[in-house]
Structure 1
Amino acid sequence: MIPPVPSVSEPQASAPRLKKISERTRSNSLESGQPQRLQAHDGSSSPHIRSSSAQPPAVRNGHTDSARVASAPHDAGSHSRNSSTGDSPHPEGGKLKRLFGGSRSSSQDVGKKSGAWIMGPDSNVDYNTSFLTNGDKVPELWHESGNVYVFLGTQSSGLGPSFKIGSYFISTSRVLNDMIQADMASAGSRGPDEANIYLGIIQPNGAPDLERLVVVRNMFAFLTGQPLVGTRSHPTVFRAFLEVAALLREFDFSSYDGSSFGEPVDLAFNSCLEQLALADVRHSREKTIEALILGEQMKSWELYNEGFTHAVGKYEAIVDLKSPLFINVSSDTRSRLERAHLDLVRRQENINLRLESFEFPSLFAGIASSTAHEEYRQVRFKEWQKNFLKMRSFVLGHYKGLFGNWPPKARSKKNHFSESGLNRQCLKILYSDLCALYDLLVDRESYTTRVAVSPGKEHEAFTDPRISALRMMLTEFDISSPPVLPPIPYDVPKLPSMTSIREDYNELPPKQQAKFDKSIAQHELLLIMLKSRNIDTDQIKIPFLSAFKEFEHKEAKGSSPQDMVDQRIGFWLFLYVVIQSLPMLVVDAPGLRFTEGVEYFLCEPPQGKLPWLEDASEVRKIWYEVSGGNNIVELSADVVMFSVEATYHRSHCWLAAKQWE
């Protein structure tokens, strides 16, 4: 039976009161069985996996200086339940303060080569293991505000405690809480707010198991924000954390649902991710594999999500590496990686087909080429197509000038890309420029009435046949090939109008309008174009926008009002079809932290249940509120979070629409 954890829900500034629990129930998320008894063993509870990309063991200082010992061993024989010694800080209040590369551990001894060292930037400093092997107090793990004493020996060994920590840090461990409860049951008149834990690693007879001692020390150091110690058998941070993960499983740390090792472990590991940049796998295939393994072993969604998404983007390079580490990634994750890679390849093929030459042959093959719609007889589709092609030529010319070629070629004088083709960085630049142009031209007062599956009938209410025809063409494009795309919320442009310079223009007789059109001065043309843009974006200085405004003004010279409208619609059609083609590749997966400078795509997040759960193969479900708010249904979480529609809703046009509504 598992005892409920001590009543500590968050790190406390002072030690919480421990409670004796007579009736205990076990969480459904934990494995059934009797409480595990700790015995000394060789510390080989997890396979030893050596990473070739991780840093090799540091070369320790070979000079001897017996005077340079940071602290003396503690006389454990004088230990009392209600007394403590030592002056190490206690990091329980709030965010953990990790000491990698910070202050030196009091257990450091640079005068004797002990086979162990502090892992961090100061990696040539030995760690004095005699505190562990002698069962003495370990200064950096002795927190005055703690209320749990940890003994490395047996209760009958006569050794004093080596660690003093707060009960919060071990509150999610079934095994350690069972030990606390057993100790409290026999405590008699001893202090009710303190407890002893006897790990029994140091036995009266035989040499201490140094590897086991260091791993145990590392687990408590990890939980309390202290640096890890490396040894010859686990010389890297990666290897050290694998050993810690194995020990967390041995001591049965778990959250209520089994999705993690519990809040104290999550907080500690997130702090390590921050300090050690374990999730920054952009520049190493081997480190990417390590992130997958460590994410699974430490039950860290943040690290697993980062490692998985990057691994999909460079999947072929990882496979080509043929690293022996890859076999240690779970089979479930390896299968997911392969499926996600194939999906990414399909997405890239679709994008390349459209954007390598900006060819959209079917766009004008529908309503634009039909004569069946009487209401659109006056719509000048051919003028739209002509201006569409002009916009295509302008964009191609701009990006050929920017990158040297389109698609870009690797290592050109005008770009730094490592591989040729439409990579993530060049498409991000294209998308950013077009989003700025969208913000410049979009009519923010004309919310779409389209639905993605029903072209035609929803447009009947529009009095302007040009807008109705435009929306029909946009719908035809959105449903022209899988996947069907959701319509952009604000999907039509602002149109140039002569009323910008003469309010009564529409009331003039046709002959007077024609005369007025011919007399437009240069500054008046500029004013017409200016008022057909959104002024907030017009003030932004972006090279692409500046080039576009110059291009548009040049094309508008000598044009009639109708010509300027057709020009704007033709340009808009090109903008729409390109910007709608991009989100499935350029919208990065949620929750990523390290994306800057990455050329491979980061759009394939891990889907399904967490791979370290027993039912990982089952579909992950969540409750979802149906539009209207009256019904709640249970749907696949992946459908809700990572579907085509969900991806588009995380893209610029949808996020901007929320601001404009």
Structure 2
Amino acid sequence: MYDLDHNEHSQTSARMRSVQMITQYLSSRKLDDLRNSRRRALSLLAWAEQDTIRWDAGYIESFVHLVGMMGPDVEAMPEFRRLSPVTRRNLGMSANALKLRTLEAEERLSTFDFSDMWEDPKNSANNPIFKSFIAFRQFLLNFFVEAYGAWPPSPNKGWLKRKAIQSLQNDFGALYDYLVNREVVWDSQEERPGKKWQMSNQDPEEEFQADSADLPLTDMLVGFDNRHGYLHIPHPYPLLPRFVNAPKAQAKKNFFSSLKKSKNDPTKDAKTHLQLSIVFSDATNIQRLGVSFAGNALIDYFEQFELAADLKGVSPRESRLGRWVLLYGVLQVLSKLSVDTQGLKYSEGVQYFLCADLKRTPPWETTSAHGMVEASQLASWCWQRD
């Protein structure tokens, strides 16, 4: 013990060396594995916050797991009363913030209702892009009912768990990869009069205009993000089907008029189906993604949906834009819950969320490099695949 306390070559105090020995022992015995154990997490948190300990990594690991497991039963446990008042307060604040995010996500994802992205949904009923938006919402509801037997999977509040969010993120993230135009980015200029944010295409050879009279897309996405505190998804625009030249057949019939169904001409219907298949398939990233792209059932059904959708009065480009608006909203909701606190030692198999607010933790000043990074949208799907 003399060497431990009086090692003149060590820059670490005797207290810190003692703490390191204890934490190494805890780790070697996996006593710091707090998954699904409220009692163990509370005990380790109470120990880690002592003035003589102040173990940053242990404190944050315990804190994040407890926030995910918090409830009235936790607050009633005797171990909870052993925590300092500031830690109890921070746990409560972080847990309430997480519950609020979860409830808001449940409301959105149970119905896929993102009609508030439109300035005036009632007066948009005749807008062909809005019609496509609504049709895609119904497609999603039908798809998930088919996949889970019911949607949401449980009629009770609290159905949205970490595993469900990760599954949804994989589904919708893959659809984003499939459809996104990675040449289109946000252009932000504070000095620009009227609009700080605009979309621009990095391909100089391609004509690009994000907004139209039927779809002021820039204002819609920026307004939605600002209202809900989202960062803007880096690539906010989809690949669009190309315009198709009119067939050479009968006079002045263009491609879009050929989309009208004909009960008397099966050859025309087959031709229309093939034309749609070509223009929609061309407007994807499947070639760019290559053989490593696994895809999923949502993409498979989405392809069928696009080909079978009623295009009367709406072009393929308009229909794709309507679907994109809804996809953008879903991705933003998922990004707030799908990312875990980075640097956690144990996270596999956990059903509760691991994305606690860490702004006030640990409650003491620290310069330690504990390796924990608060969950952020910047670590979610659309940003990591930028």
| TM-score after normalising by structure 2 | 0.77
Instruction: State, as a whole percentage, how many aligned pairs show the same letter.
Output: 27
Contact 1:309/1:602, CA 8 A, preserved across alignment: yes
Alpha-carbon distance in 2 for matches of 1:428, 1:451: 35
Q: 2:383 aligned with 1:654, yes or no?
A: yes
Distance 1:312 1:396, change over 3 A: same
Counterpart of 1:421 (choices 138, 155, 159) is 159
Q: Secondary structure at the match of 2:115?
A: coil
Q: Which residue of 2 aligns with 1:476?
A: 223
Alpha-carbon distance in 2 for matches of 1:310, 1:455: 45
Q: Which residue of 2 aligns with 1:308?
A: 63
Q: 2:247 aligned with 1:514, yes or no?
A: no
Alpha-carbon distance in 2 for matches of 1:455, 1:599: 45
Alpha-carbon deviation of 1:307? 1.0
Taking the TM superposition and a 5 Å limit, the aligned residue runs for 1:104-123 are none
**Deviation per residue, 1:583-602 (Å, 9 max, x gap):** 22222222223223323222
Contact 2:242/2:283, CA 8 A, preserved across alignment: yes
Contact 2:186/2:197, CA 8 A, preserved across alignment: no
Alpha-carbon distance in 2 for matches of 1:315, 1:454: 47
Contact 2:256/2:315, CA 8 A, preserved across alignment: no
Distance 1:402 1:304, change over 3 A: farther
Q: Which residue of 2 aligns with 1:345?
A: 99
Contact 1:450/1:471, CA 8 A, preserved across alignment: no
Alpha-carbon deviation of 1:265? 5.0
Alpha-carbon distance in 1 for matches of 2:108, 2:189: 23
Contact 2:199/2:210, CA 8 A, preserved across alignment: no
Contact 1:285/1:317, CA 8 A, preserved across alignment: no
Q: Which residue of 2 aligns with 1:406?
A: 151
AA aligned opposite 1:475: V
AA aligned opposite 1:365: E
Alpha-carbon deviation of 1:455? 7.4
Q: Which residue of 2 aligns with 1:384?
A: 129
AA aligned opposite 1:486: L
Alpha-carbon deviation of 1:318? 4.5
Larger helix fraction of residues: 2
Contact 2:105/2:333, CA 8 A, preserved across alignment: yes
Alpha-carbon distance in 1 for matches of 2:57, 2:367: 20
**Deviation per residue, 1:191-215 (Å, 9 max, x gap):** xx9xxxxxxxxxxxxxxxxxxxxxx
AA aligned opposite 1:514: N
Q: 2:334 aligned with 1:334, yes or no?
A: no
AA aligned opposite 2:343: G
Counterpart of 2:115 (choices 336, 358, 361) is 361
Distance 1:398 1:464, change over 3 A: closer
Alpha-carbon distance in 1 for matches of 2:209, 2:231: 24
Alpha-carbon distance in 2 for matches of 1:437, 1:515: 27
Q: 2:237 aligned with 1:497, yes or no?
A: no
Distance 1:596 1:466, change over 3 A: farther
Structure of greater relative contact order (alpha carbons < 8 Å, 6+ residues apart): 2
Alpha-carbon deviation of 1:331? 2.3
Counterpart of 1:564 (choices 294, 302, 316) is 316
Alpha-carbon distance in 1 for matches of 2:177, 2:78: 49
Alpha-carbon distance in 2 for matches of 1:331, 1:516: 67
Contact 2:133/2:325, CA 8 A, preserved across alignment: yes
Q: Which runs of 5+ in 2 are unaligned?
A: 201-207, 259-267
AA aligned opposite 2:28: Q
Q: 2:291 aligned with 1:551, yes or no?
A: no
**Deviation per residue, 1:53-93 (Å, 9 max, x gap):** xxxxxxxxxxxxxxxxxxxxxxxxxxxxxxxxxxxxxxxxx
Q: Which residue of 1 aligns with 2:265?
A: none
Alpha-carbon deviation of 1:515? 5.9
Q: Secondary structure at the match of 1:447?
A: strand
Counterpart of 1:432 (choices 166, 170, 179) is 170
Distance 1:506 1:288, change over 3 A: farther
Alpha-carbon deviation of 1:430? 1.4
Alpha-carbon deviation of 1:610? 3.0
Contact 2:273/2:307, CA 8 A, preserved across alignment: no
| TM-score after normalising by structure 1 | 0.47
Alpha-carbon deviation of 1:317? 5.1
AA aligned opposite 1:305: I
Alpha-carbon distance in 1 for matches of 2:256, 2:67: 60
**Deviation per residue, 1:568-625 (Å, 9 max, x gap):** 11111110111112222222222223223323222114333534x4xx5xxx899xxx
Distance 1:316 1:515, change over 3 A: closer
Alpha-carbon deviation of 1:308? 0.4
Alpha-carbon distance in 2 for matches of 1:328, 1:588: 27
Aligned residues: 355
Q: Which runs of 5+ in 1 are unaligned?
A: 1-149, 152-166, 171-175, 182-192, 194-250, 255-260, 371-379, 411-417, 500-504, 623-640
AA aligned opposite 2:59: Y
Q: Which residue of 1 aligns with 2:326?
A: 574
Q: Secondary structure at the match of 2:49?
A: helix
AA aligned opposite 2:128: E
**Deviation per residue, 1:287-307 (Å, 9 max, x gap):** 121231233354332222121
Contact 2:41/2:66, CA 8 A, preserved across alignment: yes
Q: 2:41 aligned with 1:288, yes or no?
A: yes
Distance 1:400 1:515, change over 3 A: closer
**Deviation per residue, 1:413-455 (Å, 9 max, x gap):** xxxxx98522222222212211111111000111123689997
**Deviation per residue, 1:156-208 (Å, 9 max, x gap):** xxxxxxxxxxx5xx3xxxxx21xx67xxxxxxxxxxx9xxxxxxxxxxxxxxx
Q: Secondary structure at the match of 1:409?
A: coil
